[in-house]
Amino acid sequence: MSEPIKIDIWSDIACPWCYIGKRHLEGGIAALGDDAPAVEIEYHSFELAPDTPIDFEGSEVDFLAGHKHLPAEQVHQMLERVTGIAAAEGLDYDFDALRHTKTLQAHELLHFAKEHGRQLELSERLFRAYFSEGRHLGRVDELVSLAAEVGLDADAAREALESGRYGAAVQADIAQAGAYGINGVPFFVFEGKYGVSGAQPAEVFSQVLTQVAGERDEAAA
């Protein structure tokens, strides 16, 4: 058996396109059926709005209108559009319930989860909690509860967050993104050499995987 194809994903759990992009990647892999190569997926940290307070006072419309300097009506239209695109992927976005917050500790928790073999499960759980359930992911208690749901030890997760010992790993991911020239997410890197920016359609991911697998076969021949 050949080594799985490595897919590194720079992402932020507060990024609606990152959750959609996750579904598109999964769809691209599934579309290949029996021909799908084995993959190894690793998530990397990217903070879209690092200056966000943990307890932001206001709605998602308020945040985006202020952060992007856009009229509230235009923001409403943007959110309606992304909600529709998400719904087509089976994702139920509830921007009225969403609690905008700083995502630093969520990223630290994802590094903790990676160390314990639960990063993919936690990534999915955090996205759903944030976009569909209105959970406050800037609070340690909420993060610990979600970690426990995916099989992580709650006490160890709390210690990891309260100690801040994964903070350097988060910053290393952000620095690597800068080195790659990544200034927006989601961003997918295949085998360390092919970059795909944004929530591209599933067929794009199918094509990239097929190309990478084909190049591997040629190299091994």
pLDDT, tens only, 87-134: 999 999 999 999 999 999 999 999 999 999 999 999 999 999 999 999
* CA dihedral of 17, 22, 26, 27, whole degrees rounded to 10: -10
Identify the pLDDT of residue 1. Answer: 54
8 Å CB contact between 10 and 41: no
Host domain of residue 160: 5-220
Alpha-carbon distance of 137 to 7, in angstroms, equals 26
| pTM, two decimal places | 0.96
- Would you state the structure tokens that stand for residue 51, as one six-digit string? 């200056």
**Nearest CA to 11 among 130, 96, 98?**
130
How many structural domains does the chain have? 1
Which CATH number do you get for residue 46?
Answer: 3.40.30.10
Identify the pLDDT of residue 87. Answer: 98
Residue 140: which residues within 8 A CB-CB, separation 6 or more?
A: 105, 158, 161, 162
Identify the pLDDT of residue 219. Answer: 85
